[in-house]
Chains A and B, each alone.
Chain A
Amino acid sequence: MSRQRKQIPGVDPKLLIKDAAKLLPEPSRRLFLRGAVSLGAVAMLTDCDIVDGPTSENALRVISNFNDWVQARLFSKTTLAPEYPESAITRPFPFNAYYTEDEAPDVDGETYKLEIGGLVDNKKPWTLPELNKLPEVSQITRHVCVEGWSAIGSWQGVRLSDFLKMIGADTTAKYVWFQCAEGYSNTIDMPTALHPQTQLTLKFDHKTLPVAYGFPIKIRIPTKLGFKNPKYVTAMWVQNNDAGGYWENQGYNWFSGL
């Protein structure tokens, strides 16, 4: 960190870094650079060479991994997310994605099948009528977005832990991975998958899940940030390797527990 760098006369190190940033191939390599430069005052205070983008970025990722570990330990399988009365439901409940509402995937419910894979005994795909016959659980909980806003919604569906047991999933596996119709994906830890409030959601406010909220299936996880609640789910895999996810791969914290 505290390695000294010789200044070249006539060269503004900040501009040099800007130019270097342009050369970096992936956009993700550039994510934190400008912020690091704005920390110039701090760098002077500490005599640390933190203006070095990739170095600070790697350090931040290491700490983020440590934070995953901390959060997994803070997570309690018996602590429930607070539930609210019907009157507290946010209406209209917001649509949120990295695309606009009219770009949301239009999945055909008639032909839809939920694919099952990985460390599971019964890999038979599930149609919507079959899923709708399973015992229903309901929750009115707060959806907390990584951006900071939150909204209270009402979700009904199958308790994921019941479903995993029914299909003979190896619940000693580490992860459950979800693939979505528009290419989104998510990996969650098994303890969260087995949490009593984690739900394979088929309805919003007791009505078939609208397209905006993830038709035909959303995975509702009130113990995780919104982006860890995949919509338009088409496949579910039980596995021991972390397959990452759409936002996690871009730098958002992996565990993102609430």
Chain B
Amino acid sequence: MSTEAATAAAPALPEAAEPVAPVIHPLWVRVTHWINALAMLMMIGSGWQIYDASPLFGFTFPRQIALGEWLAGALLWHFAAMWLLVINGIVYISLGILTGRFRRKLFPIRPREVVNDFTAALRGKLSHEDLSVYNAVQKLLYAGVLLAGIVIVLSGVSIWKPVQFWWLTAFFGGYNTARYVHFAAMTAIVTFLTIHVVLAIIVPKSLRAMIIGL
């Protein structure tokens, strides 16, 4: 080690010593997150309009919040946005598995921790100091919504192609039952979305992290 090199490096030292903020969400997470948000809004809005053409329950969705104006329009939206949802979803899940992010961030999920963190959250005592570590309730919700996402796509395919993929339709209990499964998965996702958005507003720095990564 030469002394010259050491002195030359010295002026730069104070700057380099400043702690570099760790990236909470890498770019691929942020990009796929927002594409997914867009695709989900289009799928849910058009899905509500499609539901209204033949409701499963004793209610319909108001047209003002549905997408597509009428059934044909809604179907065009639904079967266009599905490509965005599915392709983006495949990229997200593949990278989540390959980079080890899912394993690191979402697992293990321990029931006792879920109960503890949930109680702490209700008392307003759950810490959000380190956004890079998910609490047990977050882990459960994020893993759960991932599962709901997979179920909604597969049940959707089974309703779309009950002849070509008859085995998938049979797996979901037949055509009629698959429609209820598809609806239940939508309900799960919309419930998640509501909690997710409310919490992001309560903890704004989490929204910042999902936009700029820090």
Which A residues form the contact surface with B (CB < 8 A)? 30-35, 38-39, 41-42, 45-46, 59-61, 63-64, 67, 74-76, 79-82, 142, 144-150, 222-223, 247, 250-253, 257-258
Contact = CB atoms under 8 A, between A and B. Distances in A.
Task: Classify the secondary structure of B's interface with A.
Answer: helix
A144 B79 contact: no
A37 to B, nearest CB: 10
Interface in B17-60: 34, 37-38, 41-42, 45-46, 49-51, 53-54
Interface of B: 34, 37-38, 41-42, 45-46, 49-51, 53-54, 63-77, 79-80, 83, 161-164, 166, 170, 175-176, 179
B68 A32 contact: yes
Contacts of B76: 32, 60-61, 63-64, 251, 253
A225 B151 CA distance: 23
Nearest to A48: B38
Given A32-B69, A38-B66, A79-B163, A148 B79 contact: no
Given A38-B65, A46-B38, A60-B77, A250 B179 contact: no
Given A39-B42, A64-B80, A31 B73 contact: yes
Given A34-B69, A147-B53, A148-B54, A258 B163 contact: yes
B53 A35 contact: no
17 contacts: A30-B69, A35-B46, A35-B66, A35-B74, A38-B45, A38-B64, A39-B41, A59-B80, A63-B79, A64-B76, A81-B163, A142-B162, A144-B175, A250-B72, A251-B72, A257-B163, A258-B162
Given A31-B69, A31-B70, A146 B75 contact: yes
Contacts, number: 107
Given A64-B79, A67-B79, A253-B79, A32 B164 contact: no
Contacts of A145: 54
Which of B50, B77, B163 has most A Cβ within 10 Å? B163
Contacts of B175: 142, 144, 150
A46 B179 CA distance: 31
A66 to B, nearest CB: 8
Contacts of A222: 163
Given A31-B69, A31-B73, 14 more contacts: A31-B70, A31-B72, A32-B73, A34-B63, A38-B67, A41-B41, A61-B76, A63-B76, A64-B76, A81-B166, A147-B71, A149-B54, A252-B72, A253-B79
B85 to A, nearest CB: 13
